[in-house]
Amino acid sequence: MDFRLSDEQLEFKDHCRRFASEVIRPVAAQHDRDQTVPWDAIRKAREWGLNDMENLQRMGMDPDGMFGVIYSEELHWGCAGIALAISASSLAAAGIASSGTPEQIGQWLPECFGIGEEIKLGAYAVTEAGAGSDVKSLRTTAKLDGDEWVLNGTKVFISNGGIADVTVVIATVDPELGHRGQASFVVPKGTPGLSQGKKEDKIGIRASQTTEVVLEDCRIPVDYLLGGMDKLNRKLEKARSGASTGRQSGALATFEITRPMVGASALGIAQAAYEWTLGYLESQSDENGPLLDQQRVQQVLADVATEIEAARLLVYRAAWMGRAGVPMTGGQGSMSKLKAGDVTMWAVPTLMDLVGPFAQTTECPLEKWFRDAKIYQIFEGTAQVQRLVVSRMQRQEYASQHKEAAEVLEQPPGSSTGDSGGTTGDVVGDAAKKTVTPA
Ligand SMILES: Cc1cc2nc3c(=O)[nH]c(=O)nc-3n(C[C@H](O)[C@H](O)[C@H](O)COP(=O)(O)OP(=O)(O)OC[C@H]3O[C@@H](n4cnc5c(N)ncnc54)[C@H](O)[C@@H]3O)c2cc1C
């Protein structure tokens, strides 16, 4: 096992850090203050190769899954709001990639980014009032009328809402079936019946636009259903018959893919706050001498650095597992996001305590990181919901390992699976190969 990043990964990390320093940071305060979309930074990200199909491909081809998490951490180190404005389209792209047919993927992925100099954005619209964590209760409907789908409902808190060129909408075609009665649809900008609702005035990630997305008798062609009619009909039939699909819903599958990237985003904020505090404290002294020479300060900085590093290792492992196709039977994807969000929301105020009263002013950058950090315990699964997912998966994994161990012990001595010292390893290995899906 080699924990080092490769030369190519290190080079990419450096490239992202330079973009964050030279392009994002200089305009971060202004977009945070005015709550405006950072179009210029989005365009420059294209010039730097950090917001296009090529970048998406780079992440898709990376055998270790590291490019995605490096990208997220470094851009969020620059400014979480601007980084999200640049990268939120990836969520729509992930929705299309996980549910679409190969033809749909070819048609709609470029619509999330644009080609050449053209800039396009995507949005992924799941959440509704009363249905975010409880995704099975979505009330937005999709009804087939001839060769068109008619969508009705209101999505809330949608990143890139109102400015997206393509919005992936999760709607229910059969509310009685919960999440198994849901499907994903592509709704291009300008479709009659699609409009922007209320724009949120947020405390953090203010450069990322968040709005309601309203669908009123919004008609789209039948082939804008991701995955196609045959697949949907098979899925509905199976659900009505009560048979298990053994698969997650489109929305849950998309969130599973993106969770380590969200964890990495949170760590970008924690890392930025840690680095800034180290630099700031370098010049600070009190009656006991320079602050960095004092053990009370060193204790806190060591804890912050250790927690960030521990969270990063969970994020890297989950990203690697996702790419290598190793089932996350213990909830490793959710763990990585949970830990990174909690570490960030703990690290920033802990560093503020070290800095003292200056940290309570808007002149101190920790103030913005403090506001930006909170969202990582809320979106793409709240911290509480991540805990539920992790505990459920841990329980299933434990039960499955014990069931298999009991079966092996019941076999007569000398039988092919029941002998030798390798048994325990085989049992654990087999159990680990089973996919346990979070609900
Ligand atoms: C800035 C921002 C951007 C967003 N971007 C998007 C986007 O692009 N697309 C999209 O679809 N959504 C987006 N969201 C929505 C976000 O994903 C949801 O708000 C989040 O999943 C929480 O769902 P909810 O709003 O229904 O909260 P609720 O589920 O109502 O949660 C309220 C509280 O109850 C807790 N809770 C709920 N159920 C349980 C339980 N069973 N046990 C213990 N505690 C529980 C939650 O943890 C939370 O603390 C965004 C939200 C924000 C704030």
Q: What are 362-377's pLDDT values in tens digits?
A: 999 999 999 999 999 9
| CA 29, chain centre distance (Å) | 24
* pLDDT attached to residue 14: 98
Q: How far, in Å, are 407, 409, 425, 433 from residue 419 at the CA level?
A: 13, 9, 12, 21
Instruction: Give residue for tokens 């103030």.
Output: 367
For residue 119, pLDDT beyond 90: yes
**212 alpha carbon to ligand 1 midpoint, in Å?**
14
Are residues 105 and 117 in contact, defined by beta-carbon separation less than 8 angstroms?
Answer: no
**188 alpha carbon to ligand 1 midpoint, in Å?**
25
For residue 251, pLDDT beyond 90: no
Answer yes or no: is the C-beta of 258 below 6 A from any ligand 1 atom: no
Q: What average pLDDT does this structure show over 343-363? A: 97
Residue of 380, 397, 404, 407 with catalytic role: 380
Structure tokens of 188? 């291009």
Q: What average pLDDT does this structure show over 333-349? A: 97
> Has 117 been annotated as catalytic?
no
Give the residue extent of every domain in the chain: 7-113, 122-241, 250-389
Answer yes or no: is the C-beta of 85 below 6 A from any ligand 1 atom: no
Answer yes or no: is the C-beta of 385 below 6 A from any ligand 1 atom: yes
Pick the CATH number of 250-389 from 1.20.140.10, 1.10.3720.10, 1.10.10.60, 2.60.40.1180: 1.20.140.10
Closest ligand 1 atom to Cα of 131: 26
Q: What average pLDDT does this structure show over 81-97? A: 94
Paired with 43 in beta bridges are none
Q: How confident is the model at residue 96 (pLDDT cuts 50, 70, 90)?
A: very high
Are residues 286 and 355 in contact, defined by beta-carbon separation less than 8 angstroms?
Answer: no
Closest ligand 1 atom to Cα of 170: 11
For residue 157, pLDDT beyond 90: yes
The overall average pLDDT reported for the chain is 90
Answer yes or no: is the C-beta of 137 below 6 A from any ligand 1 atom: no
For residue 109, pLDDT beyond 90: yes
Are residues 216 and 193 in contact, defined by beta-carbon separation less than 8 angstroms?
Answer: yes
Q: How confident is the model at residue 68 (pLDDT cuts 50, 70, 90)?
A: very high
Structure tokens of 291? 């602050």
Comparing 105 with 52, which gets the higher pLDDT? Answer: 105
Strands 148-159 and 289-290: unpaired
Alpha-carbon distance of 282 to 64, in angstroms, equals 37
> Which amino acid, one-letter code, is at 349?
P
**122 alpha carbon to ligand 1 midpoint, in Å?**
20
* pLDDT attached to residue 39: 97
Q: What average pLDDT does this structure show over 136-160? A: 96
**Could you give the count of Cα atoms lying within 13 Å of 231 in the half-sphere of its Cβ?**
13
**73 alpha carbon to ligand 1 midpoint, in Å?**
22
Q: How confident is the model at residue 19 (pLDDT cuts 50, 70, 90)?
A: very high
Comparing 431 with 346, which gets the higher pLDDT? Answer: 346
* pLDDT attached to residue 434: 35
For residue 247, pLDDT beyond 80: no
What CATH homologous superfamily does 122-241 map to?
Butyryl-CoA Dehydrogenase, subunit A, domain 2 (2.40.110.10)
* pLDDT attached to residue 420: 37
Q: What average pLDDT does this structure show over 275-301? A: 97
Structure tokens of 427? 């049992």
Comparing 115 with 279, which gets the higher pLDDT? Answer: 279
Comparing 430 with 174, which gets the higher pLDDT? Answer: 174
7-113 is classed CATH 2.70.50.60: no
For residue 135, pLDDT beyond 90: no
